[in-house]
Amino acid sequence: MENILSVLIFFPLIAALLGILVKKETIRVYGLTVAAIEFLLSLWLWFAFDPANSGFQFIEYVPLVSDFGINYYLGVDGISLFIVIMAALITLIGIISLGEVKDLKNMIISLLLLETAMVGVFVSLDAIVFYLFWEFSLVPMLYIIGYWGGEKRLYAAIKFFLYTFAGSLIMLVGMLYIAYVYQSVAGVWSFSLTDWYALVLPISVQKWLFWAFFLGFAIKVPMFPFHTWLPYAHGQAPTVGSVILAAVLLKMGTYGFVRFSLPLFPDAAVAYIVPVGVIALMMIIYTAMVAYAQKDMKQVIAYSSISHMGVIVLGTFAMNAVGITGSIFLMLSHGIVSGALFLLVGVIYDRRHTKLMSEFGGLASVMPRYAVVFGIMLMASVGLPLTIGFVGEYLSLAGFFRVAPVMTLVGGTSIILGAVYMLSLYKKTFFGPVTKEENKKLFDLNGRELTALIPLVAIVIWLGVYPKPVLVPIDNSVKALVSFMQEKAQTPEAKAIIHVSTSSKEAK
Amino acid sequence: MLQPISVNMASLNLSTLSPMLVVVGGALLILIIDLLKKNLDKSLYVTLSILILFVDFGATLSLGINQRGFFDVMLIDGISVVSQLLILIASMLFIPLALTQKRFHEYSYPEYFALFLFMVAGFQFMVATDNLILIFVGLETASLALYTLIAMHNTPGSHEAAIKYFTLGAMAAGFFVMGAAAIYAVTGAVELYDVAKVMQARMSEPGILVPVIGGALLMMVAIGFKVSLIPFHLWTPDVYEGSSAPMAGYMSIVPKITMMVVAMRLLGLYVDMGVEPVRWMIIALAVVTMTLSNMMALVQEDVKRMLAYSSISHAGFVMAALALDTTKAYSSIFLYYTLFLFTNLGAFAMLWISRHKGQTYHSRFHHPYEKFAGLIHTSPQGAVIMAIFMLSLTGVPPFSLFWGKLYVISATVDAGYLWLAIVMAINSAIAAYYYLKLIVYMFLKPPAPGIEAVGINSSKPLVVIVGISVTVTALSVFIMQPLLSYISYMVSVSGY
């Protein structure tokens, strides 16, 4: 199946449209089946993927607006492969975990539309098609937050939409400028990323374009000081919305850095390592402190999610194979772990309709299974060795260490601070005596919740112990990317900083 | 001794007049039918009008490009054909909206349809000539018919709207005449190609810039009124609110396209000659228009008024392209308006469907946001369709106006006006708020009690028109390539 990427994109879309015909009572089964088929298709993609090939595979190319150089151009490489699989997995888990919500049918249709947009973003190799999916992903999410959210859902939904929309429009101007430069050099219009890669931009141009794209991506990540929309969105979104937002939608930003900013503007990226690094550090430390100060469990997870995204950004801007591989692995692990944590908070919210830590205490004795799963995910979030969180965090920081040791040292506090706020959350919620009468009769995890959570636990342990099957394809593509960047870089400083060969394995 | 002038029929090239002759003949036909037999149903006149417009469409399509006729007064170039086609498409989509469930006063008069066709003829004359006098005649024919059509809606609001539009329109016409006089004073010509020649020759004369720019300024005021640029926009929201929803939709498209073509011919001439102050005036007007109208749209409580301000802001957006003087920029104007036509007419048609006689929702407004609250529960299809139009107006891909915005911004970037492109991008982001507001009301708010009658005015023809609009809006990506290549070809053969 050469056109599997198109199938992956349009299967959920068609399923969503057909979903309108499905009766309300059977929509849950329908949603589950569709999401499961999509996930199996994504696994098939992995199976058919050639890990030795570092370039784009399963390429599809259909001209859309040929006079203007817009093509339906898809492809997947090691960098995007696993994010696509994760998007399919998280959607499936999200649908499994859906409890009794109002208008379930609309929710499932929105989730499937969102899945189309998510898969589309990660496999598009044409800037306009990328932008198309990127923007379109806002629409179902707006509906999910705004309709199923909490008290201030309207404010949160609109803020989410406007913030990201504004940032990406500036990015669009940047894209149009690159296309214009390409047209003036090559004579034809093209928005194909692979064509753009060949373009060597003057450094002054690279610099402003870097910031134009940065604005679009940074708001999505979200980087300090553009992060203010995220706590609102998480605070108000329903559980499944938070799960998908944290696990996949935020990754669009960091993926954008890897796919666009680094290979298109290598010199500018190197020149701005320090400012970007400082912003990332502020993200890590500031939001970790804010997380510690929260009273609401979901807000703790939300801020911790931002804090860890800072480590991903650090890894990306390490400009060497170790750091970037680490950051991509961390995107996956962050997706799994923060997704699971939001699910877990959702579990307790379903039972007690509150997320305040002060309302709980001693849950470990009432809900032992819940406490165990929460504990594993918490450890993975902190970055305990042998969990999935450790691998990515270690590689990202190790990569960045080669560039800026002092900043890495500061960045390393993320692990300590993470342990502080996470463990204190765990202590307040799970240990000690059961103080509230309502908490004494709480049910432990039920079958539906276990079905959603156990696969995630398995992945956390499996990839924590043996990450190789995932790391190798990522590493191959990243090395190709980095050596390409090194070749393309114009300034000697940039050439010196962009490292390929010093992967941890070869150093032995 | 006056020499007798022998006019050769062939040299008149009457075929250039054929589209207008068709539509004027059709209008007379409608009047004659009314004379012969009274009290015929409006459906007859609607269908007849569509057929007449269809013949007109065929006549326009068969015109040879780049020819002149009727003592060189008529000019059939690429942009005149494209804009006539757009006028006709919009008119053909507009007329069936008369076939509503409810009865409305204006449609019971056959004169309504005759006047409408005369107006179309006026618009066609405006774009098919570069003679200032004929442009003025076309402008007045179309405007006078339009004022009457608005007033025929026969509500207090529509009378107010018609009079307001008439007063300000008359003033705009005055400015147009003064501008034409100033141009004539400098060049001694009313044909724009002569004007260009003479002006080019006299450009080096000292002090010439004052009358040249003065003429441009007067013209710009006239154009600003008709295209509704800020600060000449004051009539727009009131007139849109007072007229019937389809008429407001029509006014947000067709008169603007025609005036945009006139601006292209007229101001394009200045920009082309390198009169920089004119270029900067256009850019300043465009920036002010899109920014301020966005701010005003933010605070509107009525959807129709919001759409009025939004159409002002879209006009400003497109106006910016006028200052760039590249083929791509001129093509982008037509591309934008083609896509805008379907989206905006569709949105106004949705308001028309929700029209209810008697003010049951709000003491002041016909279409307050609250009226649409919870539409997803009461009328899911209606809500989704309206949401698609709103997302398209916002510029969310893959809906149609995204491609228009993309092309206009791209043309701006190509011409080297990066800051302008960023201003346009920021404005699009601001605009997202008020379109989103309607979506929020429709999808995220519970239905207000006592408001169930949103689809009250629906009928099959209206549904078909909305269906066509929403199809084009949603699937525009597939028509972009043919559309773009046709428009670019037509613009470039016209020498722009």
| ipTM, interface predicted TM-score of the complex | 0.90
pLDDT, tens digit, for every residue of A382-417? 888 888 988 888 999 999 988 888 888 888 888 888
Task: Verify whether the Cβ–Cβ distance A162 to B484 is below 8 Å.
Answer: no
B423 at A interface, C-beta within 8 A = no
Name which of A221, A220, A224, A217 is nearest A283 in CA terms. A224
Residues from chain A contacting residue B440 (CB–CB below 8 Å): 146, 154, 157-158
Q: Do strands A70-76 and A57-65 pair parallel, antiparallel, or not at all (unpaired)?
A: antiparallel
Q: Which region holds residue A71: left if phi is over 0, alpha if psi is between -120 and 50, else beta? A: beta
Task: List the single residue in B with minimal CA-CA distance to A153.
Answer: B444
d(Cα B299, Cα B372) in Å, to the nearest integer? 17
Question: Which of B392, B396, B408 should one mutate to test binding to chain A, selecting the residue with the greatest count of A CBs within 10 A?
Answer: B396
B410 at A interface, C-beta within 8 A = yes
Name which of A258, A29, A236, A249 is nearest A117 in CA terms. A249
pLDDT, tens digit, for every residue of B177-209? 999 999 999 888 889 888 888 988 888 888 888
- How many structural domains is chain B composed of? 1
Residues from chain B contacting residue A70 (CB–CB below 8 Å): 480
Residues from chain A contacting residue B394 (CB–CB below 8 Å): 165
d(Cα A36, Cα B143) in Å, to the nearest integer? 61
| Secondary structure of A196-234 in HEC code, one letter for each residue | HHCCCCCHHHHHHHHHHHHHHHHHHCCCCCCCCHHHHHH
Mean pLDDT in residue range B139-158: 91
Report the first-to-last Cα separation within chain A, whole angstroms.
40
Task: Verify whether the Cβ–Cβ distance B429 to A162 is below 8 Å.
Answer: yes
A506 has pLDDT over 50: no
Query: How close B89 comes to chain A (CA, Å)?
Result: 23
pLDDT, tens digit, for every residue of B268-313? 888 888 888 899 999 999 999 999 999 999 999 889 999 999 999 9
d(Cα B232, Cα A290) in Å, to the nearest integer? 50
Q: At what angle do helices B303-322 and B254-273 cross, to 10 degrees?
A: 20
Task: Verify whether the Cβ–Cβ distance B413 to A128 is below 8 Å.
Answer: no
The answer to whether residues B311 and B297 touch, using CB atoms and an 8 Å cutoff, is no
Question: Which of A21, A24, A131, A172 should one mutate to test binding to chain B, selecting the residue with the greatest count of B CBs within 10 A?
Answer: A172
Cβ neighbour number for residue A255 with a 10 Å cutoff: 25
Element (H, E) at A464: helix A447-465
B7 belongs to a structural domain = no
d(Cα B440, Cα B430) in Å, to the nearest integer? 16
Query: How close B253 comes to chain A (CA, Å)?
Result: 25
Element (H, E) at A59: strand A57-65
Task: Verify whether the Cβ–Cβ distance A177 to B436 is below 8 Å.
Answer: no
DSSP secondary structure, A409-439, as one string: HHHHHHHHHHHHHHHHHHHHHHSS----SGG
The answer to whether residues B349 and B97 touch, using CB atoms and an 8 Å cutoff, is yes
Query: How close A75 comes to chain B (CA, Å)?
Result: 20
Task: Verify whether the Cβ–Cβ distance A176 to B410 is below 8 Å.
Answer: yes
Task: Verify whether the Cβ–Cβ distance A146 to B433 is below 8 Å.
Answer: no
Query: How close A3 comes to chain B (CA, Å)?
Result: 20
Chain A interface residues (partner B, CB cutoff 8 A): 63-68, 70, 106, 128, 131-132, 135-136, 138-139, 142-143, 146-147, 153-154, 157-158, 161-162, 165-166, 169-170, 172-173, 176-177, 179-180, 183
DSSP A66: G
User: Which pLDDT value is given to residue B358?
Assistant: 55
Confidence bin at B468 (pLDDT 50/70/90): very high
Task: Verify whether the Cβ–Cβ distance B484 to A67 is below 8 Å.
Answer: yes
B452 has pLDDT over 70: no
Confidence bin at A508 (pLDDT 50/70/90): very low
A507 has pLDDT over 50: no
Bridge partners (DSSP) listed for residue A87: none
Task: Verify whether the Cβ–Cβ distance B396 to A67 is below 8 Å.
Answer: no
d(Cα A284, Cα A309) in Å, to the nearest integer? 8
If you average pLDDT over every residue of chain B, what do you get? 89
Mean pLDDT in residue range A29-36: 94
pLDDT, tens digit, for every residue of A185-219? 998 999 999 999 988 899 999 999 999 999 999 99
Predicted TM-score (pTM) of this structure: 0.93
Residues from chain A contacting residue B480 (CB–CB below 8 Å): 64-65, 68, 70
Q: Which of A154, A165, A173 sits opposite B409 (nearest CB)?
A: A173
pLDDT, tens digit, for every residue of B155-171? 888 999 999 999 999 99
Query: How close B228 comes to chain A (CA, Å)?
Result: 26
Name which of B340, B285, B289, B283 is nearest B312 in CA terms. B289
Task: Verify whether the Cβ–Cβ distance A161 to B436 is below 8 Å.
Answer: yes
Mean pLDDT in residue range A47-55: 89
> Tokens in use for A60?
């599809």
B436 at A interface, C-beta within 8 A = yes
- φ/ψ of residue A192, rounded to 5: -75, 130
B460 belongs to a structural domain = yes
Helical segments of A317-443, H only: 321-352, 363-366, 368-382, 388-401, 405-430
Q: Which of A68, A158, A169 sits opposite B429 (nearest CB)?
A: A169
User: Which pLDDT value is given to residue A412?
Assistant: 85
B485 has pLDDT over 70: yes
Task: List the single residue in B with minimal CA-CA distance to A189.
Answer: B410
Q: Which of B409, B433, B480 sits opposite A162 (nearest CB)?
A: B433
Question: Which of A152, A173, A207 should one mutate to test binding to chain B, selecting the residue with the greatest count of B CBs within 10 A?
Answer: A173
Task: Verify whether the Cβ–Cβ distance A161 to B440 is below 8 Å.
Answer: no
Give residues 464 to 483 of B whose Cβ lies within 8 Å of A.
Answer: 477, 480-481
Q: Which of A106, A165, A176 sits opposite B413 (nearest CB)?
A: A176
B9 belongs to a structural domain = no
Q: What residue type is A225 in one-letter code?
A: P
Query: How close B428 comes to chain A (CA, Å)?
Result: 8
Q: Which of B396, B398, B436 sits opposite A158 (nearest CB)?
A: B436
d(Cα A199, Cα A260) in Å, to the nearest integer? 12
Q: Do strands B74-76 and B67-69 pair parallel, antiparallel, or not at all (unpaired)?
A: antiparallel
d(Cα A360, Cα A369) in Å, to the nearest integer? 16
B359 has pLDDT over 60: no
Question: Which of B477, B488, B489 should one mutate to test binding to chain A, selecting the residue with the greatest count of A CBs within 10 A?
Answer: B477
d(Cα B20, Cα B138) in Å, to the nearest integer? 11
The answer to whether residues A287 and A324 touch, using CB atoms and an 8 Å cutoff, is no
Q: Which domain holds residue B118?
A: 15-493
Report the first-to-last Cα separation within chain B, whole angstroms.
43
Task: List the single residue in B with minimal CA-CA distance to A159.
Answer: B433
Residues from chain B contacting residue A136 (CB–CB below 8 Å): 396-398
pLDDT, tens digit, for every residue of A428-474? 888 888 888 888 888 888 888 899 899 999 999 999 999 989 999 99
CB-hemisphere CA count at 13 Å for B134? 20
pLDDT, tens digit, for every residue of A95-145? 998 877 888 999 999 999 999 999 999 999 999 999 999 999 999 999 999
B406 at A interface, C-beta within 8 A = yes
Segments making up each domain of chain A, as ranges: 273-508
B486 belongs to a structural domain = yes
Mean pLDDT in residue range B432-455: 81
Task: Verify whether the Cβ–Cβ distance B480 to A65 is below 8 Å.
Answer: yes
Question: Which of A68, A103, A138 should one mutate to test binding to chain B, selecting the residue with the greatest count of B CBs within 10 A?
Answer: A68
The answer to whether residues A105 and A31 touch, using CB atoms and an 8 Å cutoff, is no
B360 at A interface, C-beta within 8 A = no
Helices (H) and strands (E) in chain B, counts: 21, 2
Task: Verify whether the Cβ–Cβ distance B444 to A146 is below 8 Å.
Answer: yes
B413 at A interface, C-beta within 8 A = yes
Q: Which of A128, A135, A177 sits opposite B396 (nearest CB)?
A: A135
Task: Verify whether the Cβ–Cβ distance B443 to A136 is below 8 Å.
Answer: no
Task: Verify whether the Cβ–Cβ distance B410 to A180 is below 8 Å.
Answer: yes
Task: Verify whether the Cβ–Cβ distance B409 to A176 is below 8 Å.
Answer: yes
Task: Verify whether the Cβ–Cβ distance B422 to A157 is below 8 Å.
Answer: no
Task: Verify whether the Cβ–Cβ distance B425 to A173 is below 8 Å.
Answer: yes
Identify the sign of the CA torsion A11, A17, A20, A21.
Answer: negative
Task: Verify whether the Cβ–Cβ distance A65 to B477 is below 8 Å.
Answer: yes
